Amino acid sequence: MSAKYYTQFLLTDAQYRGDNEFSGVIELNQPMDQTTETKDIEAVLAQNFDLRRNAVKLLSWSRLH
């Protein structure tokens, strides 16, 4: 079951200087719960941008219903 989330995050990789803050809806194959750590969500976002996990800083996230 997929789940949609509204996220706000920064890309800190050198190639994203300037306009590095992103927000929008992402869809995951399986839902995350409120106990999921920020680093896990950052890892998923980084993977989608083909970056290292530490190149993403999560600002906020919430599940859409």
Cα–Cα distance for residue pair 54/50, rounded to 1 Å: 12
- Residue 12 tokens, joined: 């800190």
Is the Cβ–Cβ distance between 7 and 60 less than 8 Å?
yes
Q: Which residues contact 59 (CB under 8 A, 6 or more apart)?
A: 7, 8, 9, 10, 21
Bridge partners, residue 8, by sequence: 23, 60
Q: Indicate the CATH number for domain 3-63.
A: 3.10.20.10
pLDDT tens digits for 46-59?
888 888 888 899 99
Tell me: the pLDDT tens digits for 2-25? 888 899 999 887 776 667 888 999
Beta-sheet pairing, 21-28 with 3-11: antiparallel
Q: Where are the domains of the chain?
A: 3-63
